Structures are given as structure tokens and as C-alpha cells.
Amino acid sequence: MAEDDRNLSLDNQVSTEAANAVDPVVQDQLAPWRSPLSHALHRNRALAYARYGQLATVRADGRPANRTVVFRGFLDQPEGFGWNGLKFICDRRSSKVNELDNNPWAEFCWYFPKTREQFRLAGTVILEVGLDDNLLATVRAQTWEAISTKAQASFYWPEPGEMRAEADAFRIPIVDASLPSENFVLLVLQPERVDHLELRGDPQHRWQYKKLSSNHQWTRQTVNP
């Protein structure tokens, strides 16, 4: 690969391929960082915790908050919603819901132990609580059905972060498991900037992806680690 290409490559691959593609919508919309991220997920699939990452938000007092969350897959919707969204779930009573209500920006830091690489994905987060009948409400209901009965039960537990309740308070029978708990929130992170670092290599490899607000196309730049 020529030096210029390695140094700064406006990623035209997506749009040029789209013209000839069988499924132009898919080709047009998958961000260029999706391919290396899919590789990382595949190569680390033996580790259950390779699907865990850390979601940083900002508290009302301007201090950062950071906690581990489980990646629940991508939201790629040809109609009615954006592409490349990362799905997470949380309890409506957890602090991050208030934090994201107040400041929707988040950065998800995702380290893959086996391949020794990191993705940092920054963007805004949409909170879906299922009050309206729309696409995201449907996705929320599907996500609820996909989690375990034990995970479903946790949304009926006593208030998170409050003084520990007695054991009986955690044994609430679910009346109708087919309906999501009202505490069940779907989070969709819509990345606008992605930083990919491969620790293997000397010097390491690092790429930055940015979504242009003008045309929603992604650029990719090879940068110093």
C-alpha cells in the first residue's frame, strides 16, 4: 500500500462499492469500522466478556461516570432509524438514564483481550422506554424477549443503589414475562467518532473514523498510536 494511502485515506470504498452492489442500501450504510469490529468480535468470541465494554457518561455535576455494560448487537434498520447503532439495556432507575437524559453524549470503550485491540466509540445515546408505538419500541420488546428469565426478573428488584433490601424483596414473581418491565430501557449508541487501536505491532496501529455531518459519510485516517 502506498504511503499516502496508509497515511490518510478518505474511505471511498463504501460509496464506490454501493454503485455496483446487489444490496446498495446495506453497502451504503455500514460504516467502515464495522468490518474490523466484526473481526474482533469473531476472533474473541470464546470469551463471554469480550462482549462487555465500559460506557462513560457525564453526571449532572460535570464529573464523569463509567460502568461495564453488555453489547446487545447492532441496530441496522433500513427504514425509520439510523444504522450502526450499538444496543445496550439498563434499568430505568440507574444513574446513567438520568445522566443521558441530561447529556446524551457517551463513549463506549471496548477492549478485546485475545486480539489485544481497543475500540472507542463516541456518540449520542437514545433511550427507549416503550411508551410510543414505533420501531424502537418494537426493538425494545424483541430485546426483552431475548434476555434470560433471570435477567428479566432483575428489572423488578428493589431500587438499584439504595440501601440493601431484605432477601424477600428480590423474589417478586413476574406476572407477565411477555411484556417488558416498565423499568426496562433500550439504549442505542449512535457513533460519530471511532478510534481503533491494535496493540500488536511495533509501533502499534491506530485508525480514527469520523462521520461527516454534511453527508453522513465516514472518513478514516491512519494516525500515530
Q: How far is the CB of 172 from a copy of itself (least distance, A)?
A: 11
Question: Measured between alpha carbons, how far is 135 from 85 in angstroms, rounded to an integer?
Answer: 14
- Any contact of residue 168 with a copy of itself (CB under 8 A)? no
> Is 40 among the residues that bind a copy of itself (CB under 8 A)?
no
Is residue 152 at the binding interface for a copy of itself, with CB under 8 A as the rule?
no
Closer to a copy of itself by Cβ: residue 81 or 105: 105
Stretch that binds a copy of itself, among 35-43, 63-71, 126-134, 183-191 (CB under 8 A): 63-71
**In sequence order, which residues have a C-beta less than 8 Å from that of residue 79 and are 6 or more positions away?**
135
Nearer to a copy of itself, 26 or 171 (CB): 171
ω into 203 cis (within 30 of 0): yes
**Burial (CB count within 10 angstroms: exposed 0-12, middle 13-18, buried 19+), residue 164:** exposed
Judged by beta carbon, residue 87 or residue 120, the one nearer a copy of itself is 120
State yes or no: residue 4 binds a copy of itself (CB under 8 A). Answer: no
Q: Which residues contact 129 (CB under 8 A, 6 or more apart)?
A: 92, 140, 182, 184, 185, 186
User: Cell numbers at residue 144, please?
Assistant: 426483552
One residue of 15, 35, 64, 151 binding a copy of itself per CB under 8 A: 64
* Position 74 contacts a copy of itself (CB under 8 A): no
User: Nearest distance from residue 92's CB to a copy of itself, in Å?
Assistant: 14
Q: What does DSSP assign to residue 37?
A: H
Retrieve residue 122's grid coordinates: 463516541
Interacting residues with a copy of itself between 102 and 121 (CB under 8 A): 103, 105-109, 111, 113, 118, 120
